[in-house]
């Protein structure tokens, strides 16, 4: 079955109280488990804060490493999931059932399978 990456973006600096964040996760956890049991999500993880990121840029064949995310923005990638669905619309339909109540953006993108050896 085709795979689609569900890229979950949020605003780390939103100042949402910890209790509200925990209540949000209490809704998302069971949803995630249900999607996994139904074979619609093959995996995924929440990411550490963007302050823990390192970016590796290549110019002229040389690597330069900098601290932080690859782009300066209020909205950062906070996690991801791998959706298994017959097509992009079905993957978007699954992502659209996200139960969280905090403002986020979810990008759904087809995974390009590279040649396996």
Cβ(78)–Cβ(98) under 8 Å? no
Global confidence as pTM? 0.82
Determine whether 8 is exposed, middle or buried from the number of CB atoms within 10 Å of its CB (0-12, 13-18, 19+). Answer: buried
**What would the pLDDT profile of 18-76 be if each residue is shown by its tens digit?**
899 889 989 999 999 999 999 999 999 999 988 888 888 899 999 999 887 666 666 78
pLDDT by residue (tens digit) across 92-102?
999 999 998 88
In whole angstroms, give the CA distance from residue 112 to residue 72. Answer: 27
pLDDT reading at 117 higher than 60: no
Query: Structural domains in the chain?
Result: 3-110 (3.30.70.1060)
pLDDT at 12 over 80: no
- Strand 3-11 and strand 41-46: the pairing is unpaired
């Amino acid at each position: 079955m085709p795979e689609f990456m569900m890229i979950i973006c949020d605003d780390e600096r939103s100042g949402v109280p910890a209790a509200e964040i925990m209540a949000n996760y209490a809704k998302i956890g069971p949803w995630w488990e249900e999607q996994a049991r139904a074979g619609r999500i093959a995996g995924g993880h929440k990411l550490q804060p963007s302050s823990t990121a390192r970016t590796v840029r290549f110019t002229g064949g040389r690597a330069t490493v900098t601290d932080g995310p690859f782009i300066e923005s209020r909205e950062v990638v906070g996690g991801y999931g791998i959706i298994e669905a017959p097509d992009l619309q079905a993957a978007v339909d699954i992502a659209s059932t996200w139960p969280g109540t905090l403002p986020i953006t979810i990008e759904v993108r087809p995974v390009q399978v590279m040649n396996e050896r």
